[in-house]
Amino acid sequence: MLTLNYLYKPPSATADFKSKAEDFIVDELMDIDFTGEGEHVCLEVVKRGENTLTIAKAIAKTAGVALREVSYAGLKDRHGVCTQWFSVPVAIKKHIDFAVLNNENCMVIRQIRHNRKLRTGCHKGNRFTITLRNVSDVRAILARVNAVRQGVPNYFGEQRFGFDGHNLNMAERMFNGEPIRDKKLRGIVISAARSHLFNHIVSSRVEAHGIAVSWPREIFLLEGSNAFFEEDLNDQNVARLLSGDIHLSAPLYGRGDRGIVEQEKAWLTDFTTWCDGLGELGLKMERRALRLVPKNFAVETIDDNTIKLSFELPKGTFATAVLRELVQYQDVSKVVSEESE
């Protein structure tokens, strides 16, 4: 696993993260006008201490359909209280009261019909409410909030890489010729590999000059889009950067040279085998924003050792990328899981 560079130097304060499920609350932010009719039932579910797949299996069993028929906007952490949306096909003339799923770890708070299934990534983002306990220095966290709310490196979170970086170990073996037969597992490993290379480039750029300094020639990412273009720095794209119409970015590695600049290639010289392997898989080069800006940031000091943070992030980004710039945290849920095994 990489040791990622900090934008604002390592935080001095320490704290416990996820001491209990209620310390990590995630609310999915949707931007869909549900039709109220159609062949799909959409369910807003609050889950506690359960992973997304477990809830999906329960929904499938209740509806009498195969698991593959249940869809959801995004995966959510097991160790937390998370509100998320699922959809399942149900014949128009058939009514199922999904409240039968309700228990101490799962609560269906809304069900409504819609004319199409939900697809992964159909939400616009998530709101996080995080309570940190056993904080060594609350004021040290407060002192960093103003900096962090202006943006942090858009790192992929460690959960992308599996327990102790297991997905990256599998990627190394795969790129050295060991096949992965399971298509779903293979996709997870490939995603982890691309995320790892992205983090490496972003961390290298942070070390060199942060995430705000522009190069003379950049590959800019369009706001709200996967589209990008390469261009010399000029008055027009500086103005677009200032307005938020375009963003500085880093590559999600794929085939070809379009979508990556020479400095980024230089930073990947230690990963030649991985880059060649990703190219041979036929993945196209993509870009991802270099900076992650939390929205609607709020802070509440509970007592001398406890602080509550809340903020919104766009889909596909990680709350831990924000948290790591504020505090040196220990994920207590991992410690508990390891002790119970």
Catalytic position from the list 33, 77, 304, 331: 77
- The set of long-range contacts for 166-171, using a CB threshold of 8 Å and a minimum separation of 24, is 167/192, 167/193, 168/1, 168/192, 168/193, 168/196, 171/196, 171/274
Spatial neighbors of 237 by CB under 8 A, at least 6 apart, are 218, 220, 231, 246
Active site residue 77: yes
> Among all chains, which residue has been given the structure tokens 């932010």?
29
Q: If 0-12 CB within 10 Å is exposed, 13-18 middle and 19+ buried, where does residue 310 land?
A: middle
Angle at 35 between CA 33 and CA 41, to 5 degrees: 105
> What is the C-alpha to C-alpha distance for residues 215 and 233, in angstroms, rounded to an integer?
7
How many angstroms separate the Cα of 107 from the Cα of each of 24, 189, 225, 315, 325? 17, 32, 34, 23, 34
> 3-state class of 145 per DSSP?
helix
> 3-state class of 120 per DSSP?
coil
What per-residue string of b and e applies to 112-121 under the rule 16 or more CB within 10 Å gives b? bbbeebbeee
Residues carrying an active site annotation: 77
